[in-house]
Amino acid sequence: MGELASALDALSAVDLDELGDAELLDRARKLVAAAHRVHAELTRVVRRSDVRGASEHDGARTVGGWLRGVPRISGAWAGDLVRHGRALEWLPATA
C-alpha cells in the first residue's frame, strides 16, 4: 500500500498547467481506469471482511458499520460496497 501512496503523491505533484490538452485528457482517462481498479479491489476486500466478520476486530458489528465509523464513508457508499461485494458471489465473472 505504501507504493500506491507514493505513486499518488507523485501524481499530485505534477503541475497540470504544464500539460497540453491531449495530455490532460489522457491523464484523466488513465485515472478513471485506475479508479475503477481501486474500487474493484476495495469491493473485493470489503466482501472478504464481510465474510470473515473482520469488523468485530475493531468493535463494529458489521463491515458496513465499520466503513461508516472508521474510514467514515457515507452510509450509502458503505451499503453499496457491501451489496456489490455480496453480488460477486453470484456473478463470479465480474469478480
34-58 pLDDT, tens digit each: 999 999 999 999 999 999 999 999 9
Of 30, 36, 39, which Cα lies nearest the Cα of 77? 39
Instruction: Summarize pLDDT for 72-85 with one digit per residue, the tens.
Output: 999 999 999 999 99
pTM of the model: 0.85
Q: Which residues lie closer than 8 Å to 94 by C-beta, 6 or more apart?
A: 87, 88
